[in-house]
Amino acid sequence: MDIEDLRADLEALFNPEAEDYGERPTGDIPHPRLEKEHGLDLSYLETFNWEGSSIHPHTRLCPPDEPRIRPLIHNLDVPSRLLEAGLRLFGDSILAYHELKKRTGELRYYPPAILTFWGGFETFVRHTSELMLITVQNVPELVGRFLRDEETFVDRKGDLATRTRYQSVLDRYVVLLRYGYGYSVDRGSKHWQRLEEARMLRDYYTHLDVHDPRSISADQVLNFMEAVLLGIIWPSAEIKRTQLLGIYRLYWMWDSLRKLASPFVEQPFFKDWPLDGPHTIYCPFEGVDTERFPNSEEEREHPKTETG
């Protein structure tokens, strides 16, 4: 494909005309791949009264004396915007690498795309959990504290106090699905296992496994993104209601990128450097073992003698 044609395709993908979504502004139209490849039943979407419309039974009126809803409305698009931003980063990589003959390069687009995309998932869980806790009756107090990363304890004065205790986003997601929708997650299912693998890839770049320098391919990024999207879509198919409006539009965008992408690998710049002999590294600490790790001046003053 000519690069200008590719640029035009990406522009149309990320800046569509309003009429491109027909009568559903959210773009929540089932993608054939979801049924054919993943066996999901999305027949609940095949209704005239689309989810998100003002007359849909899941669209509810908010009383004016409920201020907790207002910041949620103001932040309503943050999860989907972050997910889309991750897709845009990957789209930028497709354009940047399109005409390169060498199909390996430095870390540039893929880790930021992964971290941004996962950020969209995390904000989805946080935002949806808070909405559920405000609107659903009789949610156990301990569940609310768990979803809000709060813990009650007895302080040194003997008073009850609250402190932050962070929980895994996937553990919170399981609790959200159970108490928000009455849905119990099968942690052994293929979709959940893929979501766990996606989390591990995200964690690699967040915390960096310093003992395991990795390269990452375009296919790995695409698989990661699909796993995250399916992590939201698959329970939606099971409970017959869309958790995040616009999630199917994002899946259509992902599939378009999948078809436009070409093989490419990003990796740390120094990953394949030969390190058989002596080599240097910047080490700015106090108290360095100068015998084992001398700088150039110390090496000249105290040269090591070879034995043997």
Q: What is the structure's pLDDT at 158?
A: 84
Contact 87, 253 (CB under 8 A): yes
Structural domain contains residue 186: yes
What average pLDDT score do residues 200-220 get?
92
Q: Which domain holds residue 152?
A: 3-278
- What pLDDT, in 10s, does the model give residues 212-255? 899 999 999 999 999 999 999 999 999 999 999 999 999 999 99
CA pair distance 125, 144, nearest whole angstrom? 13
- Is 76 within the bounds of a domain? yes
Helices (DSSP H) in 75-189: which residue ranges?
78-97, 110-135, 141-147, 169-181
Q: What's the confidence (pLDDT) of residue 307?
A: 46
End-to-end CA distance of the chain: 62
Q: Is residue 253 part of a domain?
A: yes
Nearest to 130 by CA among 78, 55, 82, 64: 78
Task: Indicate the pairing of strand 265-267 with strand 104-106.
Answer: parallel
DSSP string, 117-137: HHHHHHHHHHHHHHHHHHHST
Q: How far apart are CA 285 and CA 12, in angstroms?
A: 51
Give pLDDT, residue 24.
Answer: 60
Give the whole-angstrom CA distance, residue 111 versus residue 105. Answer: 13
Q: What is the mean pLDDT of the chain?
A: 91
Residue 94 lies in a domain: yes
The mean per-residue pLDDT over the stretch 128-134 comes to: 96
pLDDT score at 308: 41
Question: At how many degrees (to 10) do helices 218-239 and 190-207 cross?
Answer: 130
Does an H or E element contain 266, and which?
Answer: strand 265-267
pLDDT tens figures, 42-88: 999 887 777 777 778 788 888 888 899 999 999 999 999 999 999 99
Strands in the chain per DSSP E: 104-106, 150-154, 160-164, 216-217, 265-267
pLDDT of residue 286: 93
Instruction: Report DSSP state, residue 264.
Output: -
Confidence (pLDDT) at 210: 82
Q: How far apart are CA 69 and CA 191, in angstroms?
A: 31
Distances (CA, A) of 260 to 2, 39, 95: 12, 24, 9
Its pTM stands at 0.90
Say if strands 265-267 and 216-217 run parallel, antiparallel, or are unpaired.
antiparallel
Q: Report pLDDT for 18.
A: 67
Task: With respect to residue 290, please indicate whether it lies within any of the assigned structural domains.
Answer: no
Query: In the prediction, which pLDDT does 275 show?
Result: 86
Q: Residue 295 falls within a domain, yes or no?
A: no
Residue 147 CB burial class (10 angstroms; 0-12, 13-18, ≥19) = buried
Residue 287 lies in a domain: no
Answer whether 200's CB lies under 8 Å from 227's CB.
no
Q: Report residue 304's pLDDT band, with 50, 70 and 90 as the boundaries.
A: low
Our count of domains for the chain comes to 1
pLDDT at residue 279, rounded to an integer: 87
Q: What mean pLDDT comes out for the span 148-177? A: 89
Alpha carbons 304 and 80: distance in angstroms, whole number: 59
Kindly state whether residue 209 falls inside one of the protein's structural domains. yes
The tokens for 18 are 């309003």
| Position 16 pLDDT exceeds 90 | no
Q: Which residue has the higher pLDDT, 279 or 109?
A: 109
